[in-house]
Chains A and B, each alone.
Chain A
Amino acid sequence: MKNVSLLGGARLSGELERLQRQLDRIGAEPTDEDIWRSVQLARHENRPYTLDYVERMLDDWFELHGDRADGDDGAMVAGLGKLDGRTVVLVGQQKGRDIQERTRRQFGMPYPEGYKKAMRAFELAERLRFPVISLVDTPGAYPGVAAEQHGQGGAIARSQAEMARLTVPTVACVIGEGGSGGAIAIALTDRVLMQENAIYSVISPEGCAAILWRDAAQAQKAAAAFKPDAAHCLELGVIDAIVPEPEGGAHTDHDRAAALLAESLRESLDELDGTAGDELRRRRRARFRSLGVFA
């Protein structure tokens, strides 16, 4: 376990049988190929999505619909359920399995209405004292005319602000693509986890390549440069722990992936149990306010 101390307080989540593999992976700097493999697995079409996890992790799931103002965004799921007998509020972006569902859910790219739905769920959690679980899986917020007219930037900002005000325990896990502002909108939480093959980034590899290399085909090179993989996010202090996936990736075994995720979420919520609400909020803000590297 001596490698762990090298990571400066970073922790590993999950069962012991996976620990060694994680340590091996983290001990060795991920290669450019490893990073690109994560990009591909994070976007794998058979990767479990938010509702696949909900179905396997939560009992008595009741989905909430609508932002109580303008509409119901299929790209954002919100609801109540029980995780091991404890009622939680869960929000998360949702991609689609087939072309109809993908269209209906805008490929997991929420409109402002989606973020407003999430905010409504956060408010409900605060009022009724339920912990919040966020599952992050989006290429980014929807880049369309109506989304802009409905205030995409402001919605993302206010969703974060709402999360910064909560006094209930909050945990986020990036389960696929953690794409930029559209992802962080629901990830300002006490604990931030990331699955082994998820990616978390300021811009997509293609977007970065298009802007900096003037060629979207240089995506692999871009990903290697900005390092969106879990090991690097852990090293930079952006996430608190890596959630293991079944050998070969979460898409190979949804049940197993859900069991591993549930275990990590449970661990995080247990750690946060018993801390006073205003202290949770103070630490949460201090955690995010400490991120950055400057001289």
Chain B
Amino acid sequence: MTVSKIDVSIETNDKPAPPPKHPNTCPRCHSHYRDDELEAALWLCAQCGHHFPMRARARVASLADPGSFSEEAADLHSEDPLQFFDLRPYTERIAEAEMSTGLADAIVIGQATVDGRQAELAVMDFAFMGGSMGSVVGEKFSRACDSAAERGVPLVTVTSSGGARMQEGILSLMQLPKTVCAVEDLHDAGQAMVVVMAHPTTAGVLASFASLGDILLAEPGALIAFTGPRVVQQTTREKLPEDFGLAEQNLRFGHLDAIVPRDELRPTISRLLRLFDAPV
């Protein structure tokens, strides 16, 4: 059969994957940590500064004033509009992700204060099906925009996502225009959005709300790409620059305002909220 150019077997030509490393082993310098060590250090490698993946609730705790976070729409759950079945039913994948993450979907939203200033938080979690955006992520992000607009406070969004969720088919694609419209409504209400792109922020999330922040920040080394390096390499056979798609390249090409290490994020966001003059 003929296969169009863009689609040339994405996985089939792959070399066998290297044996999985322990998630608490630093992929850069191979230092190994206990959970509590990483938790105390914002999931940063004490040796080389590598940013380990950070779960949504830990992220919220690292940004919000203690006890100030009030979660919204926590009970929204995915449906299975297509009765999608690949190697396993979508409903089973959802149930498994819920069990392993303790979340209902790949985003947590709610009200909080940061250094005493009110904000709305929308924080994605890559551990929930790769942070993929289906109907629930789109709806919750949109509600975060509305909540910020209604209360007259800025929205702080932390993204970490592989893109749209394939198992919800075209409805996942529709979350791109949906979240774009929500950001436009927020902007029309005169409120700002700060986006922090964590590793990875790719495809459908980058091509919608993540790119529409008034201020775009990224964590060091985060992959920020519409098409990731592997697919680019396999479809175009181009030689990739060394830091292809990373935050550092995106900053150089003018797509970001700043790269902010995780331990400086809270003071940076606090300063931005002061600049936006959010009511105390």
Contacts and interface: CB of A to CB of B under 8 A. Distances in A.
Interface stretch (A53-61, A76-84, A116-124, A160-168): A160-168
A288 B184 CA distance: 12
B255 A216 contact: no
A153 B206 contact: yes
B207 interface: yes
Contacts of A180: 164, 173, 204
Contacts of A253: none
Interface stretch (B42-50, B62-70, B120-128, B241-249): B241-249
Contact of B170 (A160, A226, A294, A295): A226
Nearest to B136: A294
A280 interface: no
* Consensus secondary structure, chain A interface: helix
Contacts of B171: 236, 238, 291-293
A49 interface: no
B206 to A, nearest CB: 3
B241 A188 contact: no
Contacts of B170: 200-202, 226-228, 232-233, 236, 238
B135 A292 contact: yes
B11 to A, nearest CB: 5
Interface string A22-59: 00000000000000000000010000000000000000
A12 B204 CA distance: 30
Contact of B180 (A150, A157, A216, A225): A157
B210 interface: yes
B24 interface: no
B76 A295 contact: yes
A205 B167 CA distance: 12
A164 B166 contact: no
B101 interface: no
B55 interface: no
Contact of A206 (B4, B81, B232, B245): B4
A295 B79 CA distance: 6
A158 B7 contact: no
Nearest to B80: A293
Q: Which residue among A140, A154, A204, A211 has the maximum number of chain B CB atoms within 10 Å of its CB? A: A154
Contact of B255 (A109, A147, A154, A185): A154
Interface string A138-152: 011101110111111
B226 A238 contact: no
A48 B207 CA distance: 28
Given A143-B227, A156-B207, A149 B253 contact: yes
Q: Which residue among B135, B167, B177, B208 has the maximum number of chain A CB atoms within 10 Å of its CB? A: B177
Contacts of B22: none
Q: Which residue among B81, B165, B210, B231 has the maximum number of chain A CB atoms within 10 Å of its CB? A: B81
A107 B211 CA distance: 26
B206 A157 contact: yes
A148 B225 contact: yes
A214 B181 contact: no
B279 interface: no
B111 interface: no
B184 A139 contact: no
A202 B169 contact: yes
Contacts of B135: 291-294
A288 B253 contact: no
A143 B244 contact: no
A173 to B, nearest CB: 15
A210 B165 CA distance: 15
Interface string A217-253: 1010010011110001100101000000000000000
Given A160-B208, A292-B138, A292-B139, A188 B177 contact: yes
A292 B142 CA distance: 12
A277 interface: no
B12 A216 contact: yes
18 contacts: A151-B254, A153-B203, A154-B207, A157-B207, A160-B180, A184-B173, A185-B207, A200-B170, A201-B169, A201-B170, A204-B7, A212-B87, A213-B86, A216-B10, A227-B169, A228-B169, A294-B78, A294-B136
Given A141-B226, A152-B225, A292-B135, 9 more contacts: A143-B231, A148-B227, A164-B180, A164-B184, A181-B203, A204-B7, A219-B3, A238-B170, A292-B136
Interface of B: 1, 3-12, 76-79, 81-82, 84-87, 134-136, 138-139, 142, 164-178, 180-185, 202-204, 206-212, 224-227, 231-232, 235-236, 238, 240-241, 244-245, 249, 253-255
* 5 closest residue pairs by CB, A with B: A292-B135, A153-B206, A206-B7, A143-B227, A157-B211
